[in-house]
Amino acid sequence: MPGVSRGFIGRGRSEHRDRLPPGQYDVGAGWPVLTAEVLPRLDPEQWTMTIDGLVLESRSWTWQEMHDLPQSEYHGDIHCVTTWSKFDTTFGGVSVDVLLDQVGPMAQATHVLATSTTGYTTNFPLEHIRGGQAWVVWTHDGQPLPREHGGPVRLLVPHLYFWKSAKWVTKLTLLDHDQPGFWERNGYHDLGDPWREQRYQGD
């Protein structure tokens, strides 16, 4: 059963109504913790990020190699399927585009399966993590990403519900078909667009 932090329950008035997807509320300064896994203790020196599957050359990067790549930041909002939204966040790390450019996705690659060190998985159409839409991040608001929020490193796909932003990410596998991940196999929507309220299968 997922764990929920204090502050998860609540409804606040938002100054950002035009940026609030349907069915969401502004969580304000808080950031609820919701996870399906026991929090791992991940040593950055032992962590690697791998992209494999339908690529010209599979590759893994160490923590230091990831930090040596061109860095970028996301400035914007995040939205959780459990109905909270958090505005004006900043995350820092590496764009997934940088990683994909180094491995060369094959023409037949259409989907991606993200895997965490815990074994958690989630899926995407490839087009949804390209074009400046996804990052591998390790800072939040200029500070190291907290462990309870996926630190030291997580995937960030902020235009989709936040269960898609896999905590403690370690691998992206490119596929020629859609392969549902953990929550998708348990009834959540395969895509998860907040603006279309794609929370569950059939939405």
Name the average pLDDT for the chain.
Answer: 90
Distance, in Å, from the CA atom of 171 to the CA atom of 115, rounded to the nearest integer, reads: 5
Summarised one tens digit per residue, pLDDT across range 163-194 is 999 999 999 999 999 999 999 999 999 999 99
- Tell me the CB-side half-sphere exposure of residue 171, using CA atoms within 13 A: 15
CATH 3.90.420.10 fits 3-196, yes or no: yes
Summarised one tens digit per residue, pLDDT across range 76-132 is 999 999 999 999 999 999 999 999 999 999 999 999 999 999 999 999 999 999 999
Summarised one tens digit per residue, pLDDT across range 62-72 is 999 999 999 99
Domain residue ranges in the chain = 3-196
- Tell me the CB-side half-sphere exposure of residue 137, using CA atoms within 13 A: 29
CB 164 within 8 A of CB 189: no
Tokens of 110: 């259409």
Q: Report the SS3 class of residue 66.
A: helix
